[in-house]
A and B are shown apart, each in its own frame.
Chain A
Amino acid sequence: MMDFFNNVFSWLPELLAATPLTLILTLVAGIFGLVFGTLLALARLSNILILSVPANMFMFVMRGTPLLVQLYLIYYGLGQILPGTWVRHSVLWPYLRDGFTYAVIALSMNQAAYNGEVLRGALRSIPKGQIEASMAMGMTNLQILQRVRLPLAFRDCLPVLTSDIIILLKSTALVSTITVLELMGTARMIQRESLQIYEPLIACGLVYFAVVMVLTNIMRPVESRLTRFRKGNA
């Protein structure tokens, strides 16, 4: 039993060294996801069919299929198509040989679809009076979007967006299947090399648990600060 725990702890330094990559993946995909998610939500709510229909389809497909399938489709699929095109000889190629790039693309697209759905709901639930008041003040559409609609929508759905970030952090573990050596990938590599089945996985679980707990506790004050105008949240 003692040996078991010693083994578990002996893998911690190696796993902690892989943690920054997990955090970078979360951060980068989180930011891309938020930006594209906002655009998707706006496209979906637009009256222009050429914007709303593709946005709707994209969100439905991304939310209706497993992330793992999307990862494989992007990683292996682009790997099949790209070498035959001009991209093969462009400056982008070195990046496109790395699993990391595909991981970021897949995670961002997936996150954008989920964030888009949340933001769409929040944008739609803004009271009509707010927008009418801004129009009466003579704001342009862009100004209304920047100063009224987006700030209200973001604050409204902030708790859901933060829990989506935690879900994203957990989803990054899936990119270990496309050769990215983040936390989960490192644990599985150790598993293969050391021939220990449980110890690297348990150690990996400890690190994930710690990261999730820390992240949850960082989010909480941010959330209550941004929603401080709400009743009972003072």
Chain B
Amino acid sequence: MVIHTYIEYMGWGAGGWGDEFFFGFLMTLKISLSAYALAVIFGFFATTAKLSKNIFLRFMAVSYTTVVRALPEILMVLIVYFTVAGLAETALVKAGFVDKGFQFNPFWAAVFALAFVAGAFMAEVLRAARLAVPEGQIESATAIGMSSLQIFMRVILPQMMRHAIPGMGNLWLSITKDSAIVAVLGAFSELLYTGYRAAAATKEYVFFYGVTAVLFLLITLISIAVIQWMERHLNRGYA
């Protein structure tokens, strides 16, 4: 219960856990950022499919968003993590690209799993934002002879992003928190797994899980500031 033991615990190097937590913090940010970027891509694909005229595409997209949003994140992450890593490994080995005993990089498998879950929620946010763009805008753009790509880039995207930002901001906050779930896989040291190892090694559970919680809170605080700035930026001219 002496203050200087705790300072020692958070020291840099072999004796302390300071450097481990620092890199764990970076790892959590890396996982969250990669998963978020991938989730935006999944979300755009799913939204496009949902709003398309093709019944098969629509069915696929609706099943994806319905099923993923109805299952617990931890279950989805486990299923996708094992399936993707397992199937991709088998496929690559069979195709002869890699040697036997090849193992998929667990980082990308975990990122893919998180993004797969977040993508379903992202699709709903983007769909609502896309529908908030008035039809007249798109008709006008067609009338002056813009191509579909031009319409999307110059008319739809700038206007839908304004509506999408609050939902996308919430999703970013939940993806940083959901990234803690990959600690259950125990494959690499993000924030929670670092806290878990530190707590197990020293038996100082309150202290190290407390540190973990504070660092997650720090991510949330910084994120909220950035999201508010972006909202103001995209809403300029509307206030």
Tell me if A77 and B205 are in contact (CB < 8 A). yes
Most central of B79, B209, B217 by chain A CB within 10 Å:
B209
Is B216 part of the binding interface, using a Cβ–Cβ cutoff of 8 Å?
yes
A205 and B77 CA atoms in complex are apart in Å by: 12
- Taking the closest CB of chain B, its distance from the CB of A175, in whole angstroms, is 10
Is A51 part of the contact surface with B, judged by Cβ < 8 Å? no
Residues of chain B with a CB closer than 8 A to A219's CB:
none
B192 touches A68 (CB 8 A): yes
Residues B205 and A65 in contact, CB atoms below 8 Å apart: no
Q: Are B75 and A208 in contact (CB under 8 A)?
A: yes
State A61–B181 Cα separation when bound (angstroms): 18
Query: Which B residues lie within 8 Å of A177 (CB)?
Result: 184
Q: Check A202 for interface membership: any CB of B closer than 8 A.
A: yes
Q: Is A173 an interface residue (CB 8 A)?
A: yes
Provide the residues of chain B in CB contact with A65, threshold 8 Å.
177, 213, 216-217, 220
- Min C-beta distance of A119 to chain B, whole Å: 18
The SS class assigned to the A binding surface is helix
Asked if B212 CB lies within 8 Å of chain A CBs, one says yes
Chain B: minimal CB distance from A165 (Å): 13
B78 on the interface (CB 8 Å rule)? yes
| Interface flags, B176-192, vs A, CB<8A=1, else 0 | 01111101100000001
Task: Give, as a whole number of angstroms, the nearest-CB distance from B149 to chain A.
Answer: 36
**B216 and A72 contact, CB distance less than 8 A:** no
Binding site for B on A (CB under 8 A): 61, 64-70, 72-73, 76-77, 79-81, 170-174, 176-177, 184, 187-188, 197-198, 201-202, 204-205, 208-209, 212-213
16 contacts between A and B (CB under 8 A): A64-B217, A65-B220, A68-B181, A69-B216, A70-B213, A73-B213, A170-B73, A173-B73, A173-B74, A173-B75, A184-B72, A197-B82, A198-B79, A198-B83, A208-B75, A212-B71
Interchain CB contact (< 8 A) of A64 among B75, B180, B195, B220: B220
Q: Tell whether, in the assembled complex, residue A76 and residue B209 are in contact, meaning their CB atoms are under 8 Å apart.
A: yes
B75 touches A184 (CB 8 A): yes
Contact, CB under 8 Å: A64 / B216: yes
Asked if B144 lies at the interface with its beta carbon under 8 angstroms from chain A, I say: no
Tell me if B98 counts as interface (CB < 8 A to partner A).
no
Of chain B, the residue at the smallest CB distance from A166 is B70
B2 within 8 A of A: no
Q: Bound complex: CA of A208 vs CA of B78, how far in Å? A: 14
Q: How far is the CB of A209 from chain B (nearest CB, A)?
A: 5
Q: Shortest beta-carbon distance, B140 to chain A, in Å?
A: 32
- What residue of chain A has the Cβ atom nearest to residue B223's Cβ? A64
